Amino acid sequence: MKRRLVLGLPAALLLARPVSAQTYPTKPIRLVVGYSAGGGNDLIARIVAAKLQEKLGQPIIVDNKPGAASIVAAELVAKAAPDGYTLLVAPSGPMTINPAVYAKLPYAPEKDFAPISLLAEFPLLLVVGADQPIKSVREVIDYGRAHPDKANYASSATPFQLASELFNQRTGSKFQHIPYRGSGDAAQAVASGQVLMTIADTGPISGLLSGGKLRALAITTDKRDPAFPDVPTLAEAGVSGMAISLWTGLVAPAGTPPDIVARLNKVVVESLAAADVRTALTKIAVDPRSTTPEEYRVLIARDAARWKQVATAANIKLE
């Protein structure tokens, strides 16, 4: 009798394991965003969440936890139960740039998370307020040198700060960092004239650009973006070595069952293929892109190594 029970146990476990994936989810899923509402990652999260909710049949709650360059949000999810009910909207910042510039982090991107899929890629734009007399990158550099008391930039996250400090390095400028909690806040500060410029993601900037509140001087891609055909690249504007394309994705805590990760990956891929989702993402000037979990894992490792080299060369260190 005892022998039959021991032999039967693995079979019972094997039968039980798929049930979680077949019934998942049975309650609301929390989608943690490390930035304030209105920023690029928040906009992406809400567009994708609406479609995930439709496909999974459970509420997808977007939970904004801004602070400390998304470290607060990343640590929260890294320490959450690995059951598929707490996920992180995981952009380049917390996943690949924070490890390059911070001496210590309360999480390790490649160890503490289970990648699900990439969600989108997007370039950065260098913009000034439309009321400023500045019309080109050359003019913003000259203006900063002539008016050192006004030579500043708004930044809501480490990637944008790193990009701006690289701009300082490449141009010999001394624009000072003014921190904000979200890209939307930073963009509004530039539009209102509180800060001279920002280098930020296209999502929260697009509306202010089309509304005539901001002026785009350059884009960080290798080639001009079809969404902004009249905006030159930084290389075209005379600033070399600043090709930057950022991304955001979705991760779960490490230890999340592979079948739940696979289920989430499947619905993310389906969601990003939906015409309404693609249209909504295109309107905020980001390119929808899904991956397998392994492809996303490789991307994280590759970009982490790249940003480490960039940060070291630029001598950028944050506490």
Query: What does the DSSP assignment read for 147-200?
Result: -GGG-EEEESSHHHHHHHHHHHHHHT--PEEEE-SSHHHHHHHHHTTSSSEEEE
CA distance 257 to 24: 11
pLDDT at 310: 76
pLDDT at 21: 65
Q: What is the pLDDT of residues 299-316, one digit of tens each?
A: 999 999 988 887 887 787
For CA atoms 163, 148, 171, 235, give the dihedral sign: positive
Letter string b/e over residues 161-199, b meaning 16 or more CB atoms within 10 A of that residue's CB? bbbbbbbbbebebebeebebbbbbbbbbbbbeeebbbbb
Q: Using alpha carbons, list the distances in angstroms from residue 27 to 32, 33, 59, 62, 288.
A: 16, 19, 8, 14, 27
E strand or H helix that includes residue 86: strand 86-91
Phi, psi of 154, rounded to the nearest 5 degrees: -90, 140
DSSP SS3 for 217: strand
Percent of the chain with pLDDT over 90: 71
CA angle 250, 204, 184 (to 5 degrees): 95
Q: pTM for the complete prediction? A: 0.76
Q: What is the pLDDT of residues 31-83, one digit of tens each?
A: 999 988 988 899 999 999 999 999 999 999 999 999 888 999 999 999 999 99
**Which is more confidently placed, 280 or 315?**
280
The boundaries of every CATH 3.40.190.10 domain in the chain are: 123-219
Answer yes or no: CATH 3.60.20.40 is held by domain 28-122+246-314: no
Answer yes or no: CATH 3.40.190.10 is held by domain 123-219: yes
The boundaries of every CATH 3.40.190.150 domain in the chain are: 28-122+246-314
CA angle 124, 283, 89 (to 5 degrees): 65
pLDDT higher than threshold 70 for residue 108: yes
